[in-house]
Amino acid sequence: MDVTRRDLLTLIAVAGSLGASSPQALAAAFEPERLLGFESLGNVTLLHMTDPHATLLPVYYREPDTLIGVGDEAGRAPYLTGEAFLKAYALTRGSAEAYAMSHVDFVALAARYGRMGGYAHLATLVKRIRAERPGRTLLLDGGDTLQGSAAALWTRGADMVQVMNQLGVEVFTPHWEFTHGIDRVKELFGDREGRGLFKGDFVCHNCKELNWDEPVFHPYTIREVGGVKVGVIGQAFPYVPISHPQRFVPNLTFGIQEEQCQRLVNELRQDKKVDCVVVLSHNGVSTDLKMAGRVRGIDVILGGHTHDGLPRPIPVGKTLVINSGAHGKFLSRLDLDVRAGAVSGYRYKLIPVLSKHVPEDPDMARLIREIRAPWEAQLAERLAVSETLLYRRGNFNGSFDEILLDALLKRFDAQVALSPGFRWGVTIVPGQAITLEDVYSHAGLTYPNTLVRDLTGAEIQQLMEDVADNLFHPDPYFRQGGDMVRAGGLTYTIEPSKPMGRRISEIRVGGKPISPDRRYRTAGWASPGPEAPGPPAYDVVADHLRSLKRVRLDPRPRVRVA
């Protein structure tokens, strides 16, 4: 992509804001344009984004400091963080790439490089690439797009479909979309019988009605790109009815459906004569890697769900596995040279969307203002100011999780609080006001209600063991999404490499060893079971922050990893 006059002026302004009085500082200011540079290859360009979680505007989003791989996965992508991540991908500490892709020096680099993402900035990049590669691009969205904000909750996803249509998303596959209910999903995206409000192709091969073998939605689409036929199979999150309340998808089954995926690949290659097969997946990286080794004939898996930003594809045989991060921070670009029904070469870049540098697309910016206008004042309510870096992402408790847990403990006078290990939720830097919008970015879902139960110590430990197995099971096909349950009021030791039922030990509640037979008042929210009776978590957290005014969290070493 060439540097325009407007880009040059933007870079000069950035350089000035950074005090760029030396050649080195000026070079640092021009680094973002280097990150956008790309030498085109071949005849097909796949643009991929995933897991934006309804994040319309630029945000801070800190990458995890702890991702533990088990068995052969240990110490390998995607289970690399911090300095190990920078070393593995030869990223310079303090660079824009290091800021975008790791948690190292996050606060200092956030001040230097600013917020990331935002659909108006993404739109600028997409338009540039389409202009550069007319007729050769395909924009794909890997899902978790209609959840994660107050506006998406209140419009039941309609706001995000408007934005997707404006961006020109051409192919989409789902996950959290199903938490709006199957009827709403069909209104927005259609099914095998007809179209919805979404202008692109909604593909999902692994959602079926009970006792029927036919998918509810179109399993794949075929697009002509750069003079060749590209087949795209949709692989939705396999565990929707387990990870979320079943009432949203009654009488539907999901699953990985590996054998069916193989049949579809064969059908595309043999009957439809496509030149390239892409799986648009919401499995998570580890599951994608296993599938790539077992389903033959896939050229590319564009993956989501685990929020991993991979600077390089992971090759598995002849299949490239890609994951493009979360919250709109990245746009992946994969150029393919496709000839005679085969991919003969590729070039890839995970493009950081640095909103200070990439200008807004005016049409998208206007649409976003219109969407947000009815709630702008309400969402801008300042609840408190944080003196602490607040984040969620990582295998164990993040600091924003601690805010949520404190709110539950206080509101319900509980001894223990439990919160799901969601990966989404924006980051708050020190000195930043926490707004009502920020609270919804951490708790804005369609089953937000709280509940209080008296659980025995044995029941608490069993619950934690179940979640730990979901996270650290040695077979990726048995991992059902999310990180470790966030726990307040207690500390514990975990041994990820141990077998089921033997990972959790040394649980202490209020500083005392947990008693298996004693009952503990336990508060929670977002139950995948029947609808809970308590107030929504976003109201509980907002009230808690209003009472605090200022937030300062000292380190809380809740988890010891053995």
- What pLDDT sits at residue 37? 87
Residue 418 domain flag: yes
pLDDT over 70 (residue 513): yes
pLDDT bin (cut points 50, 70, 90) of residue 29 is low
- What pLDDT sits at residue 28? 54
pLDDT over 80 (residue 469): yes
pLDDT bin (cut points 50, 70, 90) of residue 305 is very high
- In the chain, the number of structural domains is 3
* The two structure tokens encoding residue 518: 């004693």
* The two structure tokens encoding residue 37: 């540079």
The residue-averaged pLDDT of 197-210 equals: 97
Residues 467 and 517 in one domain: yes
Express as a percent the part of the chain with pLDDT over 90.
91
Residues 275 and 223 in one domain: yes
Residues 356 and 393 in one domain: no
Residues 238 and 276 in one domain: yes
Q: Which domain holds residue 224?
A: 38-61+116-370
Which tops the pLDDT comparison, 210 or 196?
Answer: 196
Out of 336, 351, 370, a domain closes at 370
- What pLDDT sits at residue 23? 47
Residue 535 DSSP one-character state: P
Out of 309, 336, 370, a domain closes at 370
Residues 246 and 214 in one domain: yes
- What pLDDT sits at residue 26? 46
Average pLDDT, the chain: 94
Which tops the pLDDT comparison, 16 or 285?
Answer: 285
Residue 544 domain flag: yes
pLDDT bin (cut points 50, 70, 90) of residue 481 is confident
pLDDT over 80 (residue 535): yes
DSSP 43-86: SEEEEEE---TT--S-BB-PPPS-----GGGTTSTTS--HHHHH
Residue 90 domain flag: no
pLDDT bin (cut points 50, 70, 90) of residue 21 is very low
- What pLDDT sits at residue 98? 96
Residues 473 and 500 in one domain: yes
Residue 214 DSSP one-character state: S
The residue-averaged pLDDT of 551-561 equals: 93
Residues 293 and 353 in one domain: yes
Residue 86 domain flag: no
pLDDT in tens, 84-114: 999 999 999 999 999 999 999 999 999 999 9
pLDDT bin (cut points 50, 70, 90) of residue 309 is very high
CATH number of the domain to which 403 belongs: 3.90.780.10
pLDDT in tens, 238-274: 999 999 999 999 999 999 999 999 999 999 999 999 9
Residue 410 domain flag: yes
DSSP 484-547: EEEEESEEEEE-TTSPTTSSEEEEEETTEEPPSSSEEEEEEE--SSSPP-SPBHHHHHHHHHHH
- What pLDDT sits at residue 35? 77
Contact 277, 269 (CB under 8 A): yes
Residues 428 and 339 in one domain: no
Contact 447, 407 (CB under 8 A): no
Residues 392 and 351 in one domain: no
CATH number of the domain to which 242 belongs: 3.60.21.10
- What pLDDT sits at residue 264? 98
pLDDT in tens, 110-154: 999 999 999 999 999 999 999 999 999 999 999 999 999 999 999
pLDDT over 50 (residue 227): yes
Residue 102 domain flag: no
Residue 157 domain flag: yes
Which H helix or E strand runs over 407?
helix 399-412
Residues 158 and 282 in one domain: yes
Give the pairing of strands 416-421 and 519-525.
Answer: parallel
One-letter amino acid of 560: R
- For 125, residues 6+ apart whose C-beta sits below 8 A from its C-beta are 36, 331, 351, 353, 358
Residues 28 and 43 in one domain: no
Out of 323, 343, 370, a domain closes at 370
- What pLDDT sits at residue 4? 46
Residue 394 domain flag: yes
The residue-averaged pLDDT of 458-471 equals: 97
The angle formed by the CA atoms of residues 327, 72 and 264, to the nearest 5 degrees, is 65
- What pLDDT sits at residue 212? 85
Residues 25 and 43 in one domain: no
- What pLDDT sits at residue 31? 64
